[in-house]
A and B are shown apart, each in its own frame.
Chain A
Amino acid sequence: MSNPTDDRLCCDIIEVKGLNKWYGEFHALKNIDLTVKEGEIIVICGPSGSGKSTLIRCINFLEKFQEGSITVDGTELTDDVKKIRQVRSEVSMVFQHFNLFPHLSIIDNLTLAPIWVHNETKQQAKEKALTLLDRVGIKDQAEKYPNQLSGGQQQRVAIARALCTSPKIMLFDEPTSALDPEMISEVLDVMIELAKEGITMLCVTHEMGFAKKVADRVIFMDEGQVIEQNTPDKFFENPESERLQLFLDQILTN
């Protein structure tokens, strides 16, 4: 496994070793090894049911796994609640269906975790939240409720919420799949901005334009395994495995 070398990528921040996961009898992840360096931008793609979402959901322990180990920033994930919370305080996630809290205003959605998990004062949290909302371009909606916003706006709020806890790692689980076509770019733009700032990102997405533009590495998964990984150039120009060629043909021709 050869990681691309880059000056700004120095230390391993995520280490996945021999990861196996079953849903009942179904073998969802087969012996996954993956190392992510600090600041690296990784795009994971593959057909549905290939285990790509399951993989990133294992990294913040939304999914339990049966074999193997995951170490995030020096903390190995086990059933220990303290360790899980330690990892979750450094890893934020953006979901396909946004999962904003509908009973809270936008600003309260953003300040919830900083206040209750990171013990910030209301004032601190609010200031930071407004700065982040400004960054994703929806500061003027701070007092509204999630269901008053469009899908694209909601997903940008979700990204701002994820950033509010100053995470080292951001996980994106198909962030644009539930959006109307005309709203995809406003979310991708925010993600591209984010990628330039050096935060570690793992994105499950089929937005190949995004992958070409910002990814350091693209990973192709199928049937619970990593089939191929490479720099975006080589990944799209010279796919080695037949399955990746087929997959790229399918998504790029339409």
Chain B
Amino acid sequence: MAVYPLKETKKAPQSQTKVILWLKDNLFSSTSNVLLTLVALYLIYLILPPILNWTIFDANFDLTADNQSCGREGACWAFIYDNFKMFIYGFYPQEELWRIDTMFGLIVVLIMFGSWIKKSQYRMHYIIGAFLIYPIAAFFLLYGGLGLEVVGTDKWGGLTLTIVVAAVGIVASFPLGILFALGRQSEMRIVKFISVVYIEFVRGVPLITILFMASVVLPLFFSVGMDFDKLLRALIGITMFQTAYIAEVVRGGLQAIPKGQYEAADAAGLNFLQKTTLVILPQALKISIPNIVGSFIALFKDTTLILIIGLYDMLAIVGAATSNPSWLGRNSEGYVFVAMVLWVILYSMSHYSKKLEVRFSTEHKN
């Protein structure tokens, strides 16, 4: 028998420079990888130059140009400049635009103040208060009342409408979705039954159908003459739709929580509400963050469907703007612009979700 001394730890050998090593490992590691790299480069060569030419090199950046003087070989960005207000505010009256600005400005201020008092013990009160009061303030700002001139929802449009629809859908469907997810897990048969039927029914129907139903069928349930708002109907439809998806995402999170967590909470004497809100949901929601945000991103994109029931969201504004005789045929510019705006918003959402994941991760830290 023998005794061996402990060996010293050494650093891993490093011979080549990082860049070459990276290229070799990732792009040219094998014959098939080399082929794939070359094909990809060729595709980029095919696609990228025309896009750059149209959007930048052949484009006309003269913001005073009109449809004729702009030329046809590249994009005419004067179209966006000329219709910018319509893209953002829809058909909202010019002299009332400050109300929309205030609404968006208020949310920025609220968030900044929230992060400023991060350490305060009243932070939770502040967040809950803001969540309760802001929607009411936003409603009066946007719709009117309390001395402000009423602006009907038929005048709402553009990015404002897109954000309003998405935000209401997200904020309303989140708690509802959690309730349905818990309902589906419930031991109470009737609660479980209702949840399952609701979720499976809504998930089995396309959003367009739900929007049509909300727009055409829903009014049938109400007495004649009680005509309630088209936008409100769309919001109800979208919330219904999103609730079912959030419920399924949250249910996935709930199922990932080990049985031992329920038992530990039970054994400690927590009641059902405490067990759910203090132990189970925080963990389930944390696991679900990527899927919840993914679902919200899908919803944000789906809001463009409201144009079918005659609401002018940002995408529908392109159609409205190009039907103006002085900008006929400039759809491409409009769609590219809308795509870019949506991409910036959606990418920010998914980026934020990654940051949330990191912030909440207490598992697997070592």
Within 8 A of A (CB), among B338-366: 360, 362-366
CB-defined contacts of A92 to chain B, threshold 8 Å: 267-268
Provided the pairs A101-B279, A103-B282, A147-B363 are in contact, do residues A165 and B268 lie with their beta carbons within 8 angstroms?
yes
Q: Please give the distance in Å from B124's CB to the nearest CB on chain A.
A: 14
Are B365 and A95 in contact (CB-based, < 8 A)? no
Are B264 and A95 in contact (CB-based, < 8 A)? yes
Are A102 and B270 in contact (CB-based, < 8 A)? no
Are B263 and A62 in contact (CB-based, < 8 A)? yes
Size of the A side of the interface (Cβ < 8 Å), in residues, is 26
Chain B 251-264 per-residue mask, 1 if CB under 8 angstroms from chain A, else 0: 00000001011011
Are B278 and A148 in contact (CB-based, < 8 A)? no
**B276 near A: Cβ within 8 Å?**
no
Chain A 133-165 per-residue mask, 1 if CB under 8 angstroms from chain B, else 0: 000000000000111100000000000010001
- At the interface with chain B, which of A112-120, A200-208, A241-249? A112-120
**B269 near A: Cβ within 8 Å?**
yes
**B33 near A: Cβ within 8 Å?**
no
Are A117 and B365 in contact (CB-based, < 8 A)? no
Give the interface SS of chain B, mostly helix, strand, loop or mixed: helix
CA distance A117 to B366 in the complex (A): 32
CB-defined contacts of A35 to chain B, threshold 8 Å: none
CB-defined contacts of A145 to chain B, threshold 8 Å: 362-363, 365
A-B contact count (CB 8 A): 71
**A85 near B: Cβ within 8 Å?**
yes
Provided the pairs A101-B279, A116-B274 are in contact, do residues A147 and B364 lie with their beta carbons within 8 angstroms?
yes
Are A95 and B278 in contact (CB-based, < 8 A)? no
Residue of B286, B360, B366 touching A148 (CB-CB under 8 A): B366
CA distance A95 to B267 in the complex (A): 10
Are B366 and A103 in contact (CB-based, < 8 A)? no
CA distance A81 to B270 in the complex (A): 11
**A93 near B: Cβ within 8 Å?**
yes
CA distance A81 to B362 in the complex (A): 33
Are B263 and A147 in contact (CB-based, < 8 A)? no
Shortest Cβ distance from A96 into B: residue = B260
Q: Please give the distance in Å from B186's CB to the nearest CB on chain A.
A: 15
Q: A92-B268, A102-B363 are in contact. List 16 more A-B contacts (CB 8 A).
A: A62-B266, A88-B268, A89-B269, A91-B267, A99-B258, A99-B263, A101-B265, A103-B360, A113-B268, A113-B270, A116-B278, A117-B269, A117-B274, A147-B364, A148-B366, A165-B269
Chain B: residues with CB nearer than 8 A to chain A?
Answer: 258, 260-261, 263-271, 274, 278-279, 282-283, 286, 360, 362-366
Chain A: residues with CB nearer than 8 A to chain B?
Answer: 60, 62, 81, 85, 88-89, 91-93, 95, 97, 99-103, 112-113, 116-117, 145-148, 161, 165
